[in-house]
Each structure stands twice: as C-alpha cells, then as structure tokens.
Amino acid sequence: MVDATFRGGIALAGLLPAPLVIFATFVGYVVGGPLGAVAAGMFLPAFAFSLILFERLEAIVAAGALIGAVMAL
C-alpha cells in the first residue's frame, strides 16, 4: 500500500464512526479485495454472533437473568 492510499484511508476513517473498524476494513479491501475486507473487517464476527445466538440471547433477556446484575451496577 502506498503512502497516499494509507493517508486517504486514515482521513476517510476519521470522518466516520468507529474509525479503527473502518480503517481495518479499508486496508483489508486494498490488500485483498472484497474477500480481504470481509476477513479484516471486524463487523463479521459481531453479525455472526448475533445471528447464530439470537434465540438464546432473546431467551436470556426474556428470563430476566441479567436484570439483577445490571441493577447492581
């Protein structure tokens, strides 16, 4: 990656929320194309976690198991 591309990525990431995530995805895209962006992007694990464990997370919330812990804070 050349310096101008790197600086452009830093500038772009600074304009958007979560600049480190945006910059990591940008570098992944520049280095490896769309597959590199997916591999370097930090969004994929969060989405996968939410989609795979959605029903269990909803059951925990509905059961109120965490309410006591949150209220103690």
Please tell me the total count of domains within the chain: 2
Please indicate whether residue 48 or residue 73 has the higher confidence score (pLDDT).
48
Same domain, yes or no, for 58 and 29?
no
Cα Rg of the chain, angstroms:
18
- pTM score: 0.53
Q: Range of 64's domain?
A: 45-73
Q: Which of 64, 7, 62 is nearest to 30 (CA)?
A: 7
Same domain, yes or no, for 28 and 59?
no
pLDDT tens string 2-57: 899 999 888 988 888 878 888 888 888 898 888 888 877 766 676 777 788 888 87
pLDDT tens string 9-24: 889 888 888 788 888 8
Give me the residue label for tokens 């995805």.
25
Same domain, yes or no, for 7 and 30?
yes
